Structure formats: C-alpha cells, structure tokens
Amino acid sequence: MILKRLATGPLEVNCYIVGCETTRKAAVIDPGGDVDRILALLDQEQLVLEWVINTHGHFDHIGGNRQLLAATEAELMIHSADAPLLERAGEHAAAFGLSAEASPPPTKTLADGDILQLGELKFRVMHTPGHSPGGICLHVGDALIVGDTLFAGSIGRTDLPGGDHQLLIEKIRQKLLVLPESTRVYPGHGPMTTIGQEKQHNPFLQ
C-alpha cells in the first residue's frame, strides 16, 4: 500500500493519497485544497485516481473536490448523512471568515460496513458520527484514516451544527478502540498516532 499525506487548504487539512502498488489505482481522501500539489504527487507516484472520498462534509475537507474531479475521471464518495453539506461549503466557510467552492454532488453515498475494493486494497467504512452526522473512518490494512473523529491526544469538536459529544465518544469506544493497538491512526489535522497511544494517553477517552 502507498500512503502519502499532504497538508492542504487554509486550515491545513491532512489529505491522504492511498494507492495500490500492484494496479496503481488510488483514492484521495479529504482534498482540502492545493489540488495542483495533489495532482503532482499522483503523477510522481504514477497513480491513477479512481475515487475522491470525504470523511465528512465540512468545508475545509472538501475544498478541492470540484477542481480534482474536473481534472480526473474520479468518483466522489461521502456518507449519505453528510452529502447535503457539499453544496453549502461557501456558507460554512463564510462563518469562519474564509471562502470555499461548493462541491459537486457525490456519485456514490457510503454507509457503515461498506467494503470498497481498490485494486488489491479493501477499505472498510466505519460510520462515526458526533463531529458531524455523516462522519466516517476508513480502515485499510493496518491504517485507519479518521477525519476529524479522533486526533493525537484529542477528539473532534462537537460544537458545530449536527455535533454530539456523547455520541462521538461512544462511537470511538465502540468502533476504534477495539482495533489492534498497533493500528496507525491518520487524523484530519495534526500528527499521526496509534490506537494504543490514544487508549493509554488521550484525556477524552479515560
């Protein structure tokens, strides 16, 4: 598995490029912006973009959707509960004093338990609402891409519309902390961590 990270957009969202080494098929997860850099890295790794996946619909994670889809033949995927947020990116960004381009609608909506096959890679979709109603994590190999569900030493904020602190904690405990402690966690902002590290040291999960 190829896994590359780029900090993108005005809020430095971690955008992940995940590729199959055998087939060179790739997914881009949470393109926050800086699409030229994303395309350059795909080209450098000789990867063909098949999917753009948003872990949730907040404007900072979807800012590059439109440009990336226009430059490729990729499908766009998001959980059905967050699909309505895609067209409201500009409105959400304005609340933070920023601007963002609305995203095209998804070509496929995701649900908990979906298995997505990309070349020889299998992504398992885990619905983890709380930061947003349609927040998801993607489990592929020993990597877990978590969007704004979980961070190194923290959790996603729950004070935005559709947020639910108790639900977020419940889903992290039920779905993420049961994974092997060696599982590598790739969050939407900040450094990577592991399930074991967060079980032991994350103050929100004690």
Q: How confident is the model at residue 128 (pLDDT cuts 50, 70, 90)?
A: very high
The H-or-E segment that residue 111 falls in is none
Note the pLDDT tens digit of each residue in 166-202.
999 999 999 999 999 999 999 999 999 999 999 999 9
Length of the chain in terms of residues written: 206
The model's confidence at residue 90, banded by pLDDT at 50, 70 and 90, is: confident
Predicted TM-score (pTM) above 0.95: yes
Predicted confidence (pLDDT) per residue in 29-62, tens digit: 999 999 999 999 999 999 999 999 999 999 999 9
CATH tag, 2-205: 3.60.15.10
Identify whether the C-beta of residue 45 lies closer than 8 Å to the C-beta of residue 56.
Answer: no
Alpha-carbon gap, residue 121 to 20, rounded angstroms: 6
Domain residue ranges in the chain = 2-205
User: Which contiguous run of DSSP H or E holds residue 118?
Assistant: strand 115-118
